[in-house]
Structure 1
Amino acid sequence: MKKDKPDNIVFSEEHGYNASLLPYATSVGAPVIKADDLAGWKSMGIHKVNKEFESKFNELKAQYQNLIEEFQWNELLYNARFSFEPIVGEIYHLYKDNNGVNFLSLIAPEEWNKEHVGTFRLNSDKKWVLINHRTAAF
């Protein structure tokens, strides 16, 4: 096999002299081409993204917990005993009677001596909004 060109000359039959077009060094005097170490950049990026995901996850978890708590309060109130039609925007008080049955009343906790569970307002969506509570109900 016969070589027409020396080893330090970059030549090919298809492209000719193309040393300046190649992405790598073709002679001993050419500058060293090193790939950047991206491990630190990637690690920092991964850490930052994971923190953001963790923060969003915790935010969604808190929203979920609040939703469950709202659902439980509303379930408790809609299953309570009352003999009147609640009015939107009014404040009502939930009590527990001597038999352990929940009932709804307009009478404030300071006005009588019953086991007060919580104070609520009925909003326009017919959802009971907790104003305050004194004991664990569920």
Structure 2
Amino acid sequence: MAMKESKKPDAVVYDKDKQQYNAHILPYATGVGAPQITAPDVSSWKNTQVQTVNHEFKAQFNALKEQYAQMMESYDFNKRIYSSKFSFEPIIGETYFLYLDKQGSDFLSLIPPTQCRFEYLATCTIGPDKIWIKRD
């Protein structure tokens, strides 16, 4: 019959796998009189950090929304310019003027609004990436 393993008191730190007492190598106190180990309350820190992170995500989302709105405005403007009438090849960096003719069609011109009687719509230039940029 096998010998019954003796039960050690709870206050004794004994490693069953290594068959030795190991209180001296643990990084925390193990004696009955040792101070109680309590986990710090991090709920207020978590709440603060959650608010900070949520604020950051909201700011990034709003920035993306603003960037999207600007991109759509640029897209609509470029669509309008490219669908307007013009009979020249635009030069990068030159200033052009968008007008509305008497039939209600858009047209692009080199003539500034001070020298033209058509309804002025916008001043623009074309960039090296062939994207039209509204200047006013």
d(CA) in 2 for partners of 1:73 and 1:42?
Answer: 46
Which of 27, 42, 48 is residue 38 of structure 1 equivalent to? 42
Instruction: Give the aligned residue type for 1:73.
Output: F
Residues 68-120 of structure 1, C-alpha deviation per residue, up to 9 Å, x if partnerless? Answer: 11111111000001122222221111111122111111111122222111010
Instruction: Give the aligned residue type for 2:105.
Output: V
TM-score (norm 2): 0.78
Cα distance change of structure 1 residues 17 and 9 upon mapping to structure 2, 3 Å threshold: farther
1:51-62 matches, within 5 Å, as 51-62=55-66
Cα distance change of structure 1 residues 16 and 86 upon mapping to structure 2, 3 Å threshold: closer
TM-score (norm 1): 0.77
Please tell me whether the aligned partners of residues 90 and 121 of structure 1 are also in contact (alpha carbons under 8 angstroms): yes
1:57-72 matches, within 5 Å, as 57-72=61-76
Please tell me whether the aligned partners of residues 29 and 35 of structure 2 are also in contact (alpha carbons under 8 angstroms): no
Using the TM superposition, give the Cα deviation of residue 126 of structure 1 relative to its aligned residue in structure 2, in angstroms: 1.8
Using the TM superposition, give the Cα deviation of residue 18 of structure 1 relative to its aligned residue in structure 2, in angstroms: 4.3
1:75-114 matches, within 5 Å, as 75-114=79-118
Cα distance change of structure 1 residues 6 and 89 upon mapping to structure 2, 3 Å threshold: closer
Query: Is residue 117 from structure 1 mapped to residue 121 from structure 2 by the alignment?
Result: yes
Please tell me whether the aligned partners of residues 25 and 31 of structure 1 are also in contact (alpha carbons under 8 angstroms): no
Instruction: Give the aligned residue type for 1:122.
Output: I
Aligned residues: 130
d(CA) in 1 for partners of 2:117 and 2:27?
Answer: 91
